Chain A
Amino acid sequence: MTAPVSTSSVAVPALSPRLLAFALLTVGLALMLAYLVAFDQGALSRSGMYLHELMHDGRHLLGVPCH
């Protein structure tokens, strides 16, 4: 990897398998959360259509296709 930036000023830790694992886990959980807001119809939330209906206006205004 090219590192043209002097790393002393960079705020992030160096890449490691451990970091990548945590990063992957975070992205997975975040995508589940986004899915819950944007697309879920009870399959993930186990709440029937309740959460889906509750977040209806948000879905429309966040630009997600709804109905």
Chain B
Amino acid sequence: MRTFGSLLVRGLIVGLLAGLLAGTFAFVTGEPRIDSAIAIEEANASAHSHDAGSGHHEHAAEEEPLVSRDGQRFGLFLAASLYGVALGGIFAVGFTLLRRRLRTSSDSYAALGLAAAGYVGIVLVPFFKYPPNPPAVGDPDTITQRTVTYLLTLVIGLLAVWAGVAASRWVQRFGDLPWIRLAGGGAALVLTVVVAYLILPKINEVPGTFPATLLWQFRLASLGTQTVLWTLLGIGYAAAIDRRTPVAASSKVVAA
């Protein structure tokens, strides 16, 4: 058995490493898209101010940004690492509290299952309703509404996963076949998500002039970044708590 402290430290370290690597993935696949999007945004802004004829009323600040583009490229690694640490901490708590409810005797499968559940609920469910946008896409006036609805999809995603698990256990009464459990769980999850998608407001703020290919590439880069993060979190945590690994085997065994 491990102490909570040991489970937590492993989560934080794995989260940090997963975040760093996800940041590297984002840097390679995402930064070129963000640069292109910012170029479009700046072109739009200058065109707009010429049209208005009123000069640089609100664009003056943009000429001397608080953080340079290079600074923001470095900041990407900082953001991804800190986000990874936060996720790693929450993941360790989730693992500690839910481990005994996950019906597997393998800690590795439990960690992987938890990561898969988190990925579906926290990444995929929000992604398909409110796909992430690059700069130049999105109305700044709706940022509060978009933030709230994004957080809502995140909570709904986790609820949908919970509904799926509960349903798959419930249908088990009628026949303990893998496909019945999978179908029952999948149906409950999809039903929850579809109902939520229908109720949540539609947001479509992509300007008609924004290149569709660039938008698609940015969204793929964003999805890839989060996929890398969650995959490494799950596999990394499974490895970190596995007592068969040499490092873990040397750690003290607590007498129950």
User: With the chains together, A1 CA to B52 CA distance in Å?
Assistant: 66
Report the minimal beta-carbon distance from A61 to chain B, rounded to whole angstroms.
4
Are B138 and A67 in contact, CB atoms less than 8 angstroms apart? yes
Encode contact with B along A30-63: 1 for CB under 8 Å, 0 otherwise.
1101101111000000001110011111111111
Please tell me if the beta carbons of B86 and A54 are within 8 angstroms of each other in the complex: no
Q: Is the CB of B226 within 8 A of A31?
A: no
Give Cα A27–Cα B222 distance, bound, in whole angstroms. 25
Number of B residues with CB within 8 Å of any CB on chain A? 67
Interface residues of A in 1-21 (CB under 8 A from B): 1-7, 9-13, 15, 19
Q: Which label, helix, strand, loop or mixed, suits the secondary structure of the B interface?
A: helix
Given contacts A22-B4, A60-B34, A62-B222, A31 and B86 within 8 Å (CB-CB): yes
Q: Are B143 and A65 in contact (CB under 8 A)?
A: yes
Q: Which of B67, B132, B222, B243 contacts A11 (CB 8 A)?
A: B243
* Nearest opposing residue in chain A for B145, CB measure: A65
Which residues of B sit under 8 angstroms from A12, Cβ to Cβ?
1-2, 4, 7, 95-96, 99-100
Residues of A within 8 A of B (CB): 1-7, 9-13, 15, 19, 22-23, 26-27, 29-31, 33-34, 36-39, 48-50, 53-67
